[in-house]
Amino acid sequence: MKNRLFFYLMVVLGLFCQCEKADSQPSQQQSTRKPTLYLIGDSTVRNGRGDGSNGQWGWGDAIGLYFDAEKLNVENHALGGTSSRTYYTNETLWAEVVKKLQPGDFVIMQFGHNDGGAVNDNSRARGTLSGIGDETEEIDNMLTGKHEVVHTYGWYLAQYIKETKAKGATPVVCSLIPRNDWDEPFKMRPGGGNYARWAKEVAEREKVAFIDLSSLSVAALEKEGQEVVTGKYYLASDHTHTTADGAMLNASLVAGAIRDLPGCQLIPFLLDKPSGTFPVKKQLFIVGDSTVAPNSGNIVGWGTPIIAMFDSNRITVYNRARGGRSSRTYLNEGLWDNIMKELKAGDFVLVGFGHNDGSPIDDAKARGSLKGTGDETQDVTKADGTVETVHTFGWYMRKYVQDVKAKGATPILFSQIPWGDMRDGKSARVTETYGKWLKEIADAEGVLYIDLNDMVATKYEALGIDVVRTYFPGDHTHTNLEGATLNAQTMVEGLRAARSPLASYLARPAQQGAQQGAQQGTRQGGQRPQGQPGAGPRPQGAPQAN
């Protein structure tokens, strides 16, 4: 046991290589520029989109918590399914990282899990030759149709190292994480196999830093044993990819190993402790009127039931819709500014209006907007004597989109739900008005538009007026929980169909059911309470929601 602990200590100390900048005399520009740490590797470094949508996380998504974000950028460019060969030969992967590399930057590389695959087949063709030598094999790639010279695993690692150094950046080689395979309850099978050994040999030969994550991870996991590790750090259904806890464990081991590398230039950027918990939750803000808002009693906007349809472990959903508001008044009352104060890069905003924008622009409520998407304006004097410049519906929606994009977040536009009345079995749509204008803004700004109005109207028509009327307990605009749930489910369908990044944060079925049950238990049916606001007769061409 003492010998084994001594071996791990020797590995961490990095006695075989140094972690020094390629340029030991940085220029003034280098010393003032904020450097970037680039991570390259396979799905154990970054799984899928890096959002944990399947419960799996790579350690590269957690490692940023161990660095001072004010001093160092961390970019995870790893891609699932790649080997040291395919990541190198793919024109959009390593080549793009190299283009971005500048003197003073860093690259941590981890490959091996997929290098043992077939060298040539028609499915993945990602295998490399064994070892670290200069052996090659010429093939006509059955997958790409191109002639290719395939090299050893070590040759590809050496190319990453050499090309990183050539850009004045610092390479660090990391051995692959172990698979969740055990020989005994507290003894894992050796992690990394030949690939861990070869990675170390290449790092030693090229005189660059080496982190033996394979051995470090095995040592940490064996302390807890197979029964704990399976389920906590790895999913029971997968022996390769880690959970959020597993990713955080490996990230902590990498950070600790960096701190123990003699003279490593990454050390000054390390924090004493992680800057937060993992995974870092995204935020979703839902913006709209009373058909979306929480409301009270048996009047429910769809922004309430949709909360339980998202994975609350990975995203926090805020229903900030407010009854009676239009695209104009939501902005003027400062409600939008409050969201902007909380919005962060990587967050999402679902925003849609229309019901109240058709109101007069100069009545007591002063909530109507001008029609269209242009820059036309009209000055109006409000009841308090102040003069307001009113813009078009499209102008307000464009501002919302541009504000969100400026924050590094993702805006998604949606059209209003249809009313609960029909004519000749058909639901009225806003395809030629607010829906049309929303689509025009979305297309011009390059953002997603969900035509909720048309999708729900199609469902209403299939259900028939007798069923649809049961969704509207007091008027033709506001739904009960059942109607709101149908609308929320339709929004989810729209997000999935459009393959929106937001869809990856939706809860899995079992999880969603549990969350919905807890949420619905807090709401009871019944008649609308006395004094509950409801919409009156809808003026022609002026849809309204209170």
Enzyme catalytic residues: 290, 475, 478
Radius of gyration of the chain (CA): 28
Give the amino acid at 226. Q
> Which DSSP string do the residues of 324-375 spell out, in sequence order?
T--HHHHHHTTHHHHHHHH--TT-EEEE---TTTTS-TTSSS----BSSSS-
Nearest CA to 304 out of 481, 500, 468 is that of: 481
Q: Which two tokens stand for residue 459?
A: 């469902």
CA distances from 359 to 30, 69, 326, 453, 476 (A): 58, 47, 9, 19, 17
- Cβ-count burial of 279 within 10 angstroms (0-12 exposed, 13-18 middle, 19+ buried)? buried
What is the enclosing helix (H) or strand (E) of 3? helix 2-13
- CA 262 to chain centroid: 35
3-state secondary structure of 22: coil
Token representation of residue 397: 């929606």
Which tokens in the block code for residue 214? 């394979």
Helix or strand or coil: residue 427?
A: strand
Residue type, 464: G
With 0-12 / 13-18 / 19 or more C-beta atoms within 10 angstroms meaning exposed / middle / buried, residue 415 is buried
Beta strand 426-427 pairing with 422-423: antiparallel
Residue 375 burial by Cβ neighbours in a 10 Å radius (0-12, 13-18, 19+): exposed
DSSP-derived 3-state class of residue 67: strand
Is the CB of residue 67 less than 8 Å from the CB of residue 35? no
Q: Which residue has the tokens 């064994």?
A: 130
Residues written for the chain: 546
- Contact residues for 363 (Cβ-Cβ < 8 A; gap 6+): none
Question: Omega before 279 cis (within 30°)?
Answer: yes
Q: Quick check: 58 and 40 in contact, CB under 8 A?
A: no
Three-state DSSP class for residue 450: strand
Residue recorded with tokens 């990394």? 192
